[in-house]
Amino acid sequence: MAVTRLTTPLSVGRVPRQVEPRVVFVLHRLELRKGGLTKAWLGRVRLFASAGWSVHLALISPDPQIDETLRVLRGEGLLPESVVVHHYSRDRRSLPRRVATRVLSRGRAELIADWLDRVASPGGAVVFADSPQAYPFLALMGNPRVARVFVVHLAHLSAEATRLEGRRAIANGPMTKRFSEVSDATMHAADRIVVLTDAQKQDFQLRWGTDLPIAVIPHCADPVAVPDASYDPRLVVVVGRLDYYKRWDHAIRIMGQVLRSVPDARLRIYGQGEDLDRLRAVTAERGMTGSVTFAGYATSPLEVMAGAACVISTTRREAMPLTLLETLAVGTPVVVYDIRYGPREIVRDGVDGFVVPAHDIKAAARAVVRLLTDPELRDQMSRSAREVTTRFSRQAHDQAWLALGRDLYEQRGSGPGQPGPT
């Protein structure tokens, strides 16, 4: 069964060619892994390139595979040929000896910030960083025409924080390691912080103050064409990396409860990761090897999700999981734990899926059983699920990102007498 994304040409926010405002995406390294973070920033790269911006990638960490990675990404059309790639490690090695001797006495973060200033150019730029490890480099940049944007694709709170009582206590609870190493001063150096949900914005402002400049731009869900084909009414699917924070052992335990009511139900787990052996052991210990299959990496995840009766998500934390949007877009209901952040914003409980309390295996199992045993309910939820492409439309998403870039460039990047993007 072939599944196709339906996209339309970009028609909003185009910048005149003669202006060529610059946007810089700061990354530690390029990866071929097609995870949610990679999909999101590559999509922004293509968006700004198609809108007439001068797009640059600034790669910080040494990577001997970079040339091959670029070849693959460009060959697949994921990275436009017009995008200019800069390498900190290579640029530093090419410095004249007298300059290299002078800069070696400075700290690494300052050196990277100076390098980013040069990548941004004296004319200014909008500079995006998707990783908390890169936020300090942007904070140290000295170019007054640079607009610094911290993009948050991860939950900043640890799983322990969510067990606290009260919103303020949770918001000020322990953070993940990546965010706990970012200082308050760094956070306040941003010209804009982009988060995916209103709930995370509220938690950010409870921790760092209401003056923190935050924009909420959710992921989008592209319409998907699915040929007429019957789904498997007894198949439950999990799609994602097999690691600790995804907590797929709960999906197995949920399935154990489901099998008591629906003995011929099956769980198929798609993904790779270091947690595979443990998950197989959990399956064996529960005597479920005949009902649970580990299917490896999903080369066509949309097709996989479209053929299931429902998809389960038991992750500990997220920012806004793309998998949920994609699942609903193909018309498959979801059963998801109510965690920070995303499920409550994406899934309409009882309309296109079920949002159950985190850790509540019995509640999740009851929801799965309903979808497996009530075809009319499942069909109704499937029809409602496709509305996600309107609720989180590509057009609104693209307009929001281009408007953000345009506004910041006009505020910080345009010099006297230099027109800003239109």
Q: At what angle do helices 361-373 and 248-261 cross, to 10 degrees?
A: 50
Nearest partner of 375 among 230, 239, 248, 277, judged by Cα:
230
- pLDDT, residue 231, reads 84
Buried-state track 200-239, b at ≥16 Cβ within 10 A, e below 16: bbbbbeebbeeeeebbbbbbbbbbbebeeeebeebbbbbb
Q: Is the dihedral of CA 320, 323, 329, 334 positive or negative?
A: negative
What is the CATH code of the structural domain delimited by 21-220+393-413? Answer: 3.40.50.2000
d(CA 268, CA 14) in angstroms, rounded, equals: 44
Q: Indicate the pLDDT class of residue 228, thresholds 50, 70 and 90.
A: low
Cβ within 8 Å of residue 194, ≥6 positions away: 149, 150, 151, 152, 214, 215, 216, 217, 404
CA 96, 24, 50 angle in degrees (round to 5)? 130
Q: Do domains 21-220+393-413 and 224-391 have the same CATH topology?
A: yes
d(CA 236, CA 308) in angstroms, rounded, equals: 6
- pLDDT, residue 159, reads 83
Q: In CATH terms, is domain 224-391 a member of 3.40.50.10470?
A: no
Instruction: Dump the DSSP string for 15-39.
Output: PPTTT--EEEEEES-------HHHH
Instruction: For the beta carbon of residue 292, count every other beta carbon within 10 angstroms.
Output: 23
SS3 category, 155:
coil
d(CA 303, CA 326) in angstroms, rounded, equals: 10
Section 400-415 average pLDDT: 85
Answer with the residue of higher pLDDT: 80 or 104: 80
Place of tokens 């990396």: 241
335 bridge partner residues: 312, 354
Section 65-77 average pLDDT: 92
- Token reading at 388: 């996600």
pLDDT, averaged across the chain:
88
Answer with the residue of higher pLDDT: 275 or 98: 275
Give the start-end residues of each E strand in 131-227: 146-151, 192-195, 214-216, 224-225
- Token reading at 225: 């064409």
d(CA 354, CA 374) in angstroms, rounded, equals: 14
Residue 230 has pLDDT above 60, yes or no: yes
| Domain assignments of the chain as residue spans, ordered by start | 21-220+393-413, 224-391
Residue 10 has pLDDT above 50, yes or no: no
Ramachandran bin of 125, using left for φ above 0, alpha for ψ from -120 to 50, beta for the remaining angles = beta
Q: What digits encode the pLDDT tens for the residues 281-331? A: 999 999 999 999 999 999 889 999 999 999 999 999 999 999 999 999 999
Q: Indicate the pLDDT class of residue 418, thresholds 50, 70 and 90.
A: very low
- pLDDT, residue 32, reads 75
Residue 87 has pLDDT above 70, yes or no: yes
Distances from the Cα of 43 to the Cα of 54, 67, 324, angstroms = 15, 20, 18
d(CA 324, CA 337) in angstroms, rounded, equals: 12
Section 344-358 average pLDDT: 97
Q: What digits encode the pLDDT tens for the residues 237-259? A: 999 999 988 999 999 999 999 99
User: Of the segments 15-24, 142-151, 223-232, which one has the largest average pLDDT value?
Assistant: 142-151
- pLDDT, residue 89, reads 82
Q: Indicate the pLDDT class of residue 205, thresholds 50, 70 and 90.
A: very high
Q: Indicate the pLDDT class of residue 124, thresholds 50, 70 and 90.
A: confident
Q: Are strands 54-59 and 22-27 parallel, antiparallel or unpaired?
A: parallel
Section 342-353 average pLDDT: 97
- pLDDT, residue 34, reads 60
- pLDDT, residue 140, reads 96
How much is the pTM? 0.87
- Token reading at 174: 């322990």
Cβ–Cβ under 8 Å, residues 328 and 347: yes
Q: What are phi and psi of 216, to 5 degrees?
A: -105, 115
Instruction: For the beta carbon of residue 100, count every other beta carbon within 10 angstroms.
Output: 12
SS3 category, 387:
coil
Q: How many residues does the chain have?
A: 422
Give the start-end residues of each E strand in 271-396: 292-296, 308-313, 334-338, 353-357
- Token reading at 300: 């066509």
Answer with the residue of higher pLDDT: 101 or 34: 34
d(CA 76, CA 96) in angstroms, rounded, equals: 37
Question: ω before 341 within 30° of 0 (cis)?
Answer: yes
Instruction: Dump the DSSP string for 48-114.
Output: HHHTT-EEEEEE-S--TTHHHHHHHHHHTTSS-TT-EEEEHHHHHHTS-HHHHHHHTTS-HHHHHHH
Structural element, H or E, at residue 318 = none
Find the Cα–Cα–Cα–Cα dihedral 192, 197, 198, 202, rounded to 10°: -70
